């Protein structure tokens, strides 16, 4: 290596350094995607939302439109989309939206969903009450499910110097394939076990 470096003139050394810088920066950019993805999946960052037990007791007269979006991480075979693309609510009023997921494969698939809210300033005032994204979802082969998310926009948004101008908030989910839980029992296997789910009927 020392001989290679010594054999280069100043121009050649500059080119080698530039190639090295490009390689390092490209590697960091590539690594930042899964790192950012993991961070979002753990924290819900990207306009981080709050979790609340109930909506406001006194909704405002002002309204705001919520848009819904869905995407998938690369290689995820599950098909997903929002049932409604948008809804308009009074600020502080509880909203209920649904996302639909379909497993077109012949095997069970476990999924998780990361989320973000835009514009970023509005995220602090977007509160979820219940959400399918709080739990791992296991879809059976050919199964189609409707998954709810209940939420509201906190009235304090109208007093925030940045967020108060938001007329539309977009709630986006990205679905990821996850490892199947170790204690997972296939549906048919549970039916075949004495005292299994058939005893619930």
Listed in sequence order, the residues at least 6 apart from 94 whose beta carbon sits closer than 8 Å to its beta carbon are 54, 55, 129, 150, 151, 152
Average pLDDT estimate for 102-112: 95
Residue of 200 and 2 predicted with greater confidence: 2
- Cα–Cα distances (Å) from 87 to 59, 83, 120, 171, in that order, read 16, 11, 19, 11
For residues 178-194, one letter each, b for 16 or more C-beta atoms within 10 angstroms of the residue's C-beta and e for the rest, the string is beeeeeeeeeeeeeeee
Average pLDDT estimate for 150-172: 93
DSSP summary character for residue 18: H
Average pLDDT estimate for 56-65: 89
Q: Give the pLDDT band of residue 133 (cuts 50, 70, 90).
A: confident
- Give the span between the Cα atoms of 6 and 13, in whole angstroms: 9
Listed in sequence order, the residues at least 6 apart from 158 whose beta carbon sits closer than 8 Å to its beta carbon are 60, 62, 91, 164
């Amino acid at each position: 290596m020392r001989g290679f470096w010594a054999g280069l003139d100043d121009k050649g050394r500059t080119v080698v350094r530039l190639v090295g810088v490009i390689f390092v920066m490209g590697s960091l950019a590539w690594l930042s995607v899964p790192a950012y993805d993991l961070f979002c999946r753990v924290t819900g960052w990207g306009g981080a939302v709050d979790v609340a037990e109930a909506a406001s007791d006194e909704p405002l007269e002002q309204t705001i439109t919520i848009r819904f979006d869905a995407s998938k991480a690369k290689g995820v075979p599950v098909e997903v989309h929002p049932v409604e693309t948008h809804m308009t609510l009074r600020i502080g009023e509880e909203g209920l939206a649904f996302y639909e997921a379909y497993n077109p494969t012949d095997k069970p698939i476990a999924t998780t969903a990361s989320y973000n809210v835009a514009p970023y300033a509005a995220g602090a005032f977007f509160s979820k009450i219940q959400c399918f994204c709080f739990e791992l979802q296991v879809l059976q082969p050919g199964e189609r499910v409707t998954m709810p998310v209940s939420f509201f926009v906190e009235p304090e948004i109208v007093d925030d110097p940045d967020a108060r101008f938001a007329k539309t908030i977009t709630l986006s989910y990205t679905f990821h394939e996850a490892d199947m839980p170790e204690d997972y029992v296939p549906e048919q296997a549970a039916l075949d076990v004495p005292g299994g789910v058939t005893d619930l009927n």
